[in-house]
Amino acid sequence: MKNNKMLPKRVRAIFLIAVVSCFALWGMPARSQPADEATASEEATASPKAEKIEPPPQADPKAAVTTKDPEIPVEELQLLVKPLALDELANEAAAWQLLLKNKVKEISDAEIAIKRQNRSINKQQEVAGSLEEAKKALEESDKALKSAAPDSAEYKEATKKAEEAKEKLKKAQEGLKEATQTKKELKQDDTLNDALKKAEKTGELDQAKQTLEEAKKERDKIAPDSPAYTAATEKIDELDKAIKADEEAEKAQKAIADPESPEYEEATQKIEESTAQVKKAREAISGTTTTGGTGAAEKSAQKLDEATSTLENTTIKTGGETPTAGSSAAANSQANQDKKGQQLEKTSDKLEANAKDESVLKNQLVVNATNLQSGRTAVVDRFNVILEELDRKGGESKYYRKYIEAITKAEIDVKDTEGLGVRLLSWLKSDEGGLRWVSNIGKFVGIVLASAIVSQIVGFVISKLLKLSNTSKLMRQFTVVVINRGGIVVGVLLALTALEVSLAPVLTVLGGASFIFAFALQSNLGNFASGLMIMVYKPFDVGDEVKIGSLWGWVDSISLANTKIKGFGGQMFTVPNNAVWSDTIENLTTSDIRKVKFSFRISFDQDVTNIEKVLVDIFKSHPQILEEPAPSTFVFDLEDEYINLIASGWAKTDEFWKVSADILRTIQTRFEQEGIKLGAPPQDIRILPESDENNSLTLDREFTEKQLLHPETANPTIK
């Protein structure tokens, strides 16, 4: 039976949580993209086997109209795609995917070039270190050979050191060959070589912009009407025009989706021409001329070839036996050793200098890769606009979204500390990187603060309105807390959209978790539901004097889980709300006035009418007994030889206990003066069987807590 009674409560609790979750999912405002919905759907239907996604039908990217300006503002793009039909949106999606694919390919090429540059730099630094060690070993062996006697142990040890120096020299030569081979591979790979050229071009453009700013500052120092000022202005204008033309050429190339098309080749040719103009205009201002047509990568390869040749010659010269000390042979040996040391030191210095130059180029590659990643983010943002519209008009976007998910995973080489710093700095300066996230974080903080302030104001206003409507204190407190905290929660959820966080998966997880909590916390949810019922129906409030079951006292506090009642002896009873709501609740202070009432047992030999007059007079004589309703008496029962009589009057609720005590004392005094005697309660006498020990009478008086509090109802019995 107990389980059957508990079942409906559990069902109600689960149902309540389900309803709350549904309303949360349905009513929660969110700026979630269809990508979020697709992700949530995929998570909900995930299975051990990967879902197979069919590619969309063939579309024509050349028919797309929205890719003509890849940097079109997102708001404009949303308006541009609204009138497009489903088949037209398919063409747009294919075109944007092609743009994204090309962007990702550029990023991959740049990252591969960075890795190869790192290998070449690390190898050159390693070779330079080996050469330093070889030089040091040769010097030590030469010094030892000079001081050691032939065929001695010291001489053999010195010869051994010389051989070790040769081995280190051989190792350095092999490492240098590896670095040279890496550079050749990079140079032979047209794709990776293009990445290097783009890095050099970006560096050239950055230098040109820097030269332009410096030239403007220098021009400001010249008199405005002088010929020098006019000449400087012409050069500045020429460089500024060349830079803008170069940027326009790059923008035009980005708008072409197919890198194999003639249009793309033509755009590339224009970029080369504009770059040459930039270089020429910069040289005209700076007054310096760079070596024609030789890039930084080619220079680095030439330096490596020279270093390799030098090192090979040094190795050949150190072959054979080490000369012994003595006469002209010793002098020649010393000269050779000094020359070898100088060659090794010179080669080491060249390698270190070349490694530094390549580090500059590598850092420019990192900057390019970071900028390309920012460009990829911009393309993805616009691609998502197309996919949103595609979903709205009944198209299928899973294939494209899966592709976006796969290519947007970031992979960073943490071993390259220098490149990592450059990458971070470039990301911070990027419009689609650090600047974007600074803006997003600012929006996040602003939304959270605004929601907190608004929720506090709304909570204050609602509290005042509820107070005017005589709503319970608990209900007011609960409502204010829900508004304050709920407003902040809603604000945080809205703010998460500013951080580009998908809300659909979050809400889906919360909805699923709610059912788990419903089963795990059934009893707590029952108390929670009962607490809500107490707040809504308001059977009592904090400070009220109540009787709940066998408990009698004042309500100390109410929460959603339990109610605390303070007893007459100062004890505190904590009662679960489920038990409170399921039991009888008697509120003794629900009104502003309360009846002061006493019951009397009058014997037949007493004048009942006179007693009633005395009692009424006693009540009326008390200054705090109200005139309306007037004090009264009531004869309500006849019991054996006694008449039961009730006398009552009304007092203010907060004065009840004081008035009750005063009336009781007055009744005792007046009854003694009037000679009124109350009837004794009936007694039930029972003779115990003879088998009971002492054959005596047993007096058993039972006084429950209720009877002690109501002495007029006490009925002790003698058994």
492-543 pLDDT, tens digit per residue, is 888 888 777 767 777 777 776 776 666 656 667 777 788 888 877 888 888 8
Q: Give which of 497, 465, 491 is closest to 480, Cα–Cα.
A: 465
Omega into 150 within 30° of 0, i.e. cis? no
How confident is the model at residue 374, as a pLDDT?
Answer: 84
pLDDT at 402 over 50: yes
Q: Between the ranges 217-221, 291-295, 429-433, where is the mean pLDDT highest? A: 217-221
Sign of CA dihedral 43, 46, 50, 52: negative
Confidence of residue 695 (pLDDT cuts 50, 70, 90): very low
CA distance 51 to 64: 30
Range of weakest confidence among 209-218, 239-248, 494-503, 693-702: 693-702
**pLDDT averaged over every residue in the chain:** 75
More confident residue, 382 or 363: 382
Residues 26-46: what's their mean pLDDT? 40
Q: What are the phi and psi torsion angles at 270 (to 5°)?
A: -65, -35
pLDDT at 365 over 70: yes
pLDDT at 561 over 60: yes
Rounded to the nearest 10 degrees, how much is the dihedral formed by the CA atoms of 366, 367, 370, 375?
A: -140
pLDDT at 4 over 70: no
Q: Where are the alpha helices (DSSP H) in 53-189?
A: 74-81, 86-147, 153-188
pLDDT at 469 over 60: yes
How confident is the model at residue 335, as a pLDDT?
Answer: 63
How confident is the model at residue 684, as a pLDDT?
Answer: 53
Strand order in the sheet with 545-548: 572-576, 562-567, 551-558, 545-548, 585-587
Residues 173-177: what's their mean pLDDT? 76
Residues 149-153: what's their mean pLDDT? 77
**Residue 235 neighbours by CB under 8 Å, 6+ apart:** 215, 281, 284, 285
Residues 606-630: what's their mean pLDDT? 91
Residue 497 · residue 503 · CB < 8 Å: yes
Q: Which residue is it, tokens 């519209």?
A: 389
Is this model's pTM higher than 0.95 or not? no
CA distance 482 to 455: 9
